[in-house]
Every structure is written in structure tokens, then in C-alpha cells.
Structure 1
Amino acid sequence: MNSININRRRFLQTASASLALSTFGPQGLELLFRDKPWRVGLIGSGWYGKNDVFRLIQVAPVEVISVCDPDQRMLQEAASLISQRQKSGNTPRTYTDYREMLAEKDLDIVLIGSPDHWHALQAIEAMKTGAHVYLQKPISVDVLEGEAIVAATKKYNKVVQVGTQRKSTPHLIDAKKQVVDAGLLGKISHVEMCCYFHMRANGNPPVEPVPDFFDYEMWTGPAPMRPYDGLPHTRWWRTFMEYGNGIVGDMCVHMLDTVRWMLDLGWPQRISSQGGIYVQKGGKSTISDTQSAVFEYPELNCVWQHRSWGAPTDPEYPWAFKLFGEHGTLAGSTMQADFTPYKEGDAIHFDVLYEKEKYPEDVTEDRIELNAAPATRLHMLDFLNAIENNSKPVADIMDGHISTASCILANTSMAVGRPLVYDPQKMIVVDDSEATALLQRPYRDPWNHPMPDKI
């Protein structure tokens, strides 16, 4: 028996393999076990960048040949860890400027795990150089960036898989099939989504010199240049609207995307949001600590709520969605799902899948989300299948754009103090010139904002 068949047999013993086989069929699965490895590059070698590349290495023949990060220490650490994990044992080339890495034009796939304010420029440039892209969510920091990525995907005919991997989460796939698709909920006329994690970093670190190993100018790129007050990598950059869209852009995008997938929803008809910094007023953070948003669909409101203080309303579901139907409720999170009928029928519980025995290296990996690892592996397999078959992945760029832009528009609604109606054909907020002007953030020189009509 050759090595490919041995690897295939071992792969087929895993839970994610069973899901892959049921999703792609034998032909699609066979394509994943090819003699020639995919040539992979990673932009952003922090926590989730490494997480994504390690999951890809686990499920497919790949050769990570280049890694980019403006932090030399983190870059070298990532290159070393990748050499230990990939089959060849080769150490990837390292770059601090993604443009130099992409200029080699030797990549089949680029994984992008950089901060949100870089996603659009890096994804578009990667596609220009011939690569397919695995792009972490949210896909953009403003709406027109997202429109530009969509335009680039069409122009260059590339597959973009967005890192909204709830669509590949085994227990949520089961819940969708057995509850939603089976009609157990009946008509669904209300959805609640929430995040009550205390995840809003907030403090007053002093301004300090930029260390020699860190290119702060390159890290900042098109975003506003803040005074340097320490390495921004772990949670710190997410506390600033300068680089992202707060907890709505970080956490609501996952749950809204999941709800849209489960219920087959497109663009919301109208979006409104209220909130601000109500409790955690000390410190430098510029993102809201309290916020609600309503995404309106015909006879259905999807309501979001987050607080970075206090206790969750339901301790079993602190970051979650709940679908309220005429016959019952489905609650879902990254950890579990529960169907509760109102009268007739049995309750159904869905548990998270772990694959620690199948992938023992997961257990010792730094900061790994063990509950999310199987979902990311399946998401990677779906991505590769879409590349091989020139088809849409489960988290296609358009769906990623709708979910991302809807969350951005919620923040815009909060800023202008009124509901918004977005017209995706005209790329304007209907009858609202002030909000339309906010669809594009200003870029810091010398960076140029990508525009969909100029791709």
C-alpha cells in the first residue's frame, strides 16, 4: 500500500473526514490526496494565523513556503513551528512586507490572518498574483473594501473562503439538518444573538519607543497612526475602532453569518443600532462596551446584544444565537446546540465535537481553541474542494461580505443615530448622504483605498 493510501485511510477514520466525505463525495475527497502539494503562504503569523495554517497542514498535502509578519520575533517563531509541523520539515521563507512575499508569484494559496484593517489590500493583492485566499473574518473594515474584494474575486476568478467556520461546525451542521431543515421550528419570526464575554481590553499603557524587531509603520499600514504603547498583537488592537469594528465586527459577524446560513437569508432590509461606552469609561479603548443592533428581514428581526461587563443572560449560551419558531426554539453556540419544543416532540441536544485523540498535537498547541479545531479542518477541506472543482466554498466571499458589511452598517447606524437601508447594487445608503460617505474610511498615505469600479 502506498503512502497516499495509508494517509487516506488514517484520514477517513476521523470525524472531519466523515463529514468531508458526506459533503464532497468520493471524487472530491480523492482530489485532496494528490501527489503535488499546494504551495501556501501565510500573512499574519499571530495566534489565528498559525491556528489556520496548522489545521490546513493536518488535513491536506501542503508546503508552506513563505510567511509574512512585521514582527520579526513572531515571524521567526512561526517559521520554526511550521517547519516542525509540515511533512517536508522545510522552514518557510520570511518577509516583513507582504508585497515582497506576493511578488514571488509562487503561491497557490494565501492564508490571511492579519488585523482587520489589512484584509482588503492583502486579499486583493494575493488574488492579483494568482493565489486563492483563505481570509479571516471580518473581510473588511468598511463596506466599500468588501465590495472591492468581491469585485476582485470575480475578475481574477479565484476562490475565497472566509473564516466564518460555524458553517463547518459539526454539531451546528447537524442542528441545521435535524431541526431547521426538518421544519421542527415551524415559522421562525424572531432571532436573538449575543456575546457577553469580558473581551474588551481597556487600559492606559504609557507611550514607549518602538522595539527594533517590530515594524510599526508597516503594521499600521492604511490605518491611523496611533502613538505606540506596546505590542498590539494580543487583544489590544481589537479594542480600537481604528483597526476594526469592535465586538460587533469581531463576534456578531460569526453569529449573524450562522443565522443567515441556517435560514437562507441575504441582505437585511434595514439595520439599526444603539450603544456606546456606558460602563468601562476608563482607559484608551474606543469600541463600545454595550451595544444592540437589529437586522430586519420580512416578518423577522435578528437582534444582537453585547456587553463586555456583567453576567450573561443565559450562562449556558454566553456567545450564541437563538432561533424562535412557532413550535420551538433552537439555541446554538460553538460548544453546543439545543432544540426545545414548546409542546409536542422531544428535546434534542447537540454536543461539540473534539478530535484530541485523532490529532494529539492539538492538546499541546499554544492557545488552540479545541472546540473550533474540527470546524476549521472541515472548513479547509471545503476550501480545497472548491479550488479543485472551481466551485463556491461554504463561506463564499459574497456571504462573508454581506455578514461583514451588515455588522459595519450597524456601527454606522449607531454613529449617525438612525436606521440605514443599504443598496448593494448602487453601493449607497438610501436617502442618506452622510451615512453613504461613511461607507469608505480614509486611508493613511501612501496607501490607496481599493474601489470596486477600479479593480
Structure 2
Amino acid sequence: MTHSRRQFLSTASMLMAGAALPSALHGFHRVAAADKLNVGAIGINGMGWSDLNSILKVSGVNCIGICDVDKSVIDKRLGDLAKQNQKPTVYSDYRKLLENKDIDAVIIGTPDHWHCLQMADAVAAGKHVYVEKPIGNSIAECNVMVAAQEKSGKAVQVGQWQRSQKHFNDAIAFVHSGKLGQVRLVKVWAYMGWMKPVPVQPDGTPPAGVDYAQWLGPAEKRPFNPNRFHFNFRWFWDYAGGLMTDWGVHLIDYALYGMKAKYPKSVMASGGKFAYRDDAAETPDTLTTVYEFDGFNMLWEHATGIDNGPYGRTHGIAFVGNNGTLVLDRGGWEVIPEKGKMEAVPYTKSVDNGLDLHTKNFVDVIRSGNLNDLKTPIQTGALVAVNAQMGNIAYKTGKKVYWDGQKGQFTDKDANKYLSAGYHNGYKLPKV
């Protein structure tokens, strides 16, 4: 690990302080509203493709570069983009895309284990960045990504698009109003009935046109297995953190936002592969995690193959107060009162497209130069990603672990072994 301990702790301290972003930093390279904004996209199979489609709806945005390790994905996207009168240059190596001085901003939609390297390289190359969540596959990577943005002064938006939705922000404003009374518990959950077992498959040869070495990047070298490729990569520790990070960063984000909280005092987690014991996935299909903050607990639950989550919702956040409980999900929010203590607030539905609002916000900030207007700056993305990683670390250690906010690490040496992700194949954690 080349990132120094001093730098690691300094960045962690900045995250804890929640320092405001300066409105203009060196090297911002503001793009005037009348100018074309040229974007490139790295990883365009899943959310990267959704992000690119969304940002192209913004007036004046043009795609001039795409990069993916899978030629079949490239070929399909070239056809899709041609229908939108977009004719990007194709790159097989993202570093070559970053050398294109005509590209103002990049979208990073690769698997989690690539986010840190690619984001750090992108801002160093003078690009603004829209990076998918979770931002890093370790706490150390999250800290490096914050440091890279702050050094560069570039706009970095994290793809937690719920931050741009009206009903989410209306619900949090209600929490902040104090009408719920003392909130002593926040429940956060993801019950994913659509998720089925990942069938065991033998190792084999990468499909024609796939640069598997480039896909692995800093991850441990292993034989190609279709289960670890494309969407299912998120169920393997080498590349991601399972539902704890995949959905957790979306939902825990709002729990922290509602409670104006940063980092917990302690975390403990229990779970495992209870539903699909013999499938190929590594990450737990069932997990319960308890975060202890000053004055309240946060409870995370996830379960695959089940839709009947708390309050009859597949996912959500519930702020449990003395006067009532506010329940919030992607569809809307409501308040369920404690008898005789407050009035109910009927269910209010979502009315907007969070992703489209989020990518437009990113473009608007690039054009205005005001980083404070970003809905999900890298500091916000790092805060929630670190909290989610803490849950996985508590699960892996099987202990109740305590966080030392001053040192930016756990008090347990076994837990601290998981602060950094291993880098392999000649790659090293970026040094900022």
C-alpha cells in the first residue's frame, strides 16, 4: 500500500469534519452553458450505460468516447448511440480515453474494484467525474478518492441519485422538523425477492472479445468464471461487497442524512448464506447489522429471495420516533403516528426521475463551477461507503468492533486488516 498513513488519517479527519467544498478550486475548468460538454464513458454494460443515456438528455452534452473490456458490449452500444446521432471513439484501455483532451467529463460504470484507480486517474487527467456507487471497495480507497478530488478541484458526483429526488428530501426535512420526537432507532433494509441463487459453474475461457486481464485489473488473478463477470461480480469479495454496499449505500445514505450522523461508535453484524447455502456467491444472502451512534441505533437488514420486508416494503428507511415513525422508500413516504401523539401523514408518491435530475445536476455544476451545488459530492459518497464497509468488516471479523474517529481506524487489529483492499497484478493504490 503506497498511500501513507499520515495522508490516510488526514483524509479521514476531513471526512469526519464534514468540511464544506469550496465553490471554486484550482484546475476546475468550467464549461460555459453555451459550449458543448464532451463526455466519455468507462464501463457501459449496466449502470454506466444508464448514466450515459441519462446525461445525453441534457442539452449540449455529447459522447465522444466509450471504453469497455467486452467487444460485444461495445458493438451493441455503438449501434444504440448511432440512433442518437452519437459517434464516439472506441477505446480498449481507459487510460487512452483519458488522454483525449477534448473529453471534459467521464462516467465510471465499472465494477467496484476499479472505481478508485479510474476516478483518481481521471481527475489527475483534468476530467470531471460521475462515478458509480459504492465509490470504493475498501475504506482506504474511499479516503484516497476524496483526497484525489480535493487535490484536483474537479467536480465528482457519486451515482446516489436519490439525493436529487424531491420526495426523499421532503421526507428528510420532516425528520429534521422534530415532529417525530426523539428518534431512537433507524431501520434500513433491502429485501430482494427477485434475487435467485447463483448456480455453480466451472471455470472456463473468457468469451471472444473480452480482455479478461483488463477486467481483473487490481483484483486477485483467478481463472475466468462466468459467475464473476458482468452483473454477478457484486456477490464476490474481490470486486464488491454484496447487498451491504450495493443497496446499502443508497439507503444508509438517507439514514445518516436524516440523523445528521457521521460514523458509529461500534458495529456488529451477524448473518451468512442461509437461503442459498450451496450457490456460487460469497457474500451473505442474509445479514443483520447494528450500528451504535450517540443517542440512537441504526439497524441494517438484507435478505435475498424475500420481498416481505418491514412495513410491507421490499426496501426502505424507517425513522422510529417517540411520536411516530416515518417510512421512506423509492416510491414515496408516510408517517405512522403513535396513538394520540401526532397526526398521520398520508403516503406521498415520488413524482420525478432521480437519475435524470442527478446527471443534470452534475452538468450544471461543471458549467457553473460551484462545487457546493453537487447533490452527492465524493465526500458524501465516501461517508456512506465507509459506513457500509464497516458493516462488512464487522461481519467478516464476527466481532463487535469499535471505531476510533481520531485515528480513522478500528480499535481491533483484526478489523483493521480489512481497511485496505489488496492490489494485485502490478497495480497499486493511487498515491495522491
Instruction: Give TM-score, length-normalised by structure 1.
Output: 0.83
Aligned partner of 1:289 in structure 2 is: 285
Partners of 2:135 and 2:385 within 8 A in 1: yes
| Distance verdict in 2 for CA 1:287–1:72, change over 3 Å | same
| Distance verdict in 2 for CA 1:269–1:98, change over 3 Å | same
Equivalent residue in structure 2 for 1:320, among 316, 320, 324: 316
Aligned partner of 2:380 in structure 1 is: 399
Aligned partner of 2:357 in structure 1 is: 378
Instruction: Give the residue type in structure 1 aligned to 2:386.
Output: A
2:103, 2:197 → 1: CA distance? 36
2:175, 2:329 → 1: CA distance? 15
Instruction: Give the residue type in structure 2 aligned to 1:443.
Output: Y
Counterparts of 1:40-439 in structure 2, within 5 Å, are 40-85=39-84, 89-177=85-173, 179-198=174-193, 199=195, 201-230=197-226, 232-314=228-310, 316-342=312-338, 343=340, 344-353=342-351, 374-387=353-366, 388-392=368-372, 393-423=374-404, 425-430=406-411, 432-439=412-419
- What root-mean-square deviation, in Å, do the aligned CA atoms of Structure 1 and Structure 2 show? 2.0
Partners of 1:167 and 1:394 within 8 A in 2: yes
Percent identity reads 28
Instruction: Give TM-score, length-normalised by structure 2.
Output: 0.87
Partners of 1:271 and 1:406 within 8 A in 2: no
SS of the residue 1:382 aligns to: helix
Q: How far 1:66 moved relative to its partner?
A: 0.4
- Which deviates further from its counterpart, 167-176 or 289-298? 167-176
* Structure 1 residues 332-356: Cα deviation after superposition (integer angstroms, max 9, x where no partner): 11112111222332322111225xx
Instruction: Give the residue type in structure 2 aligned to 1:380.
Output: T
Instruction: Give the residue type in structure 2 aligned to 1:76.
Output: D
Partners of 1:169 and 1:334 within 8 A in 2: no
Partners of 1:273 and 1:410 within 8 A in 2: yes
1:338, 1:449 → 2: CA distance? 44
2:33, 2:57 → 1: CA distance? 15
Partners of 1:32 and 1:61 within 8 A in 2: no
| Distance verdict in 2 for CA 1:139–1:301, change over 3 Å | same
Aligned partner of 2:21 in structure 1 is: none
1:32, 1:183 → 2: CA distance? 41
Instruction: Give the residue type in structure 2 aligned to 1:383.
Output: F
Q: How far 1:424 moved relative to its partner?
A: 5.1
1:316, 1:64 → 2: CA distance? 42
Q: How far 1:240 moved relative to its partner?
A: 1.2
Gaps of 5+ in 1: 1-30, 355-373
Instruction: Give the residue type in structure 1 aligned to 2:98.
Output: L
2:225, 2:311 → 1: CA distance? 35
Partners of 1:200 and 1:289 within 8 A in 2: no
2:190, 2:291 → 1: CA distance? 16
1:62, 1:134 → 2: CA distance? 14
2:379, 2:65 → 1: CA distance? 28
| Distance verdict in 2 for CA 1:80–1:422, change over 3 Å | farther
1:232, 1:289 → 2: CA distance? 16
Q: How far 1:411 moved relative to its partner?
A: 0.9
- Which deviates further from its counterpart, 417-426 or 255-264? 417-426
1:196, 1:149 → 2: CA distance? 30
Instruction: Give the residue type in structure 1 aligned to 2:214.
Output: M
| Distance verdict in 2 for CA 1:232–1:93, change over 3 Å | farther
Partners of 1:73 and 1:213 within 8 A in 2: yes
SS of the residue 1:235 aligns to: helix
Instruction: Give the residue type in structure 2 aligned to 1:137.
Output: K
1:407, 1:222 → 2: CA distance? 21
| Distance verdict in 2 for CA 1:200–1:122, change over 3 Å | farther
Aligned partner of 1:357 in structure 2 is: none
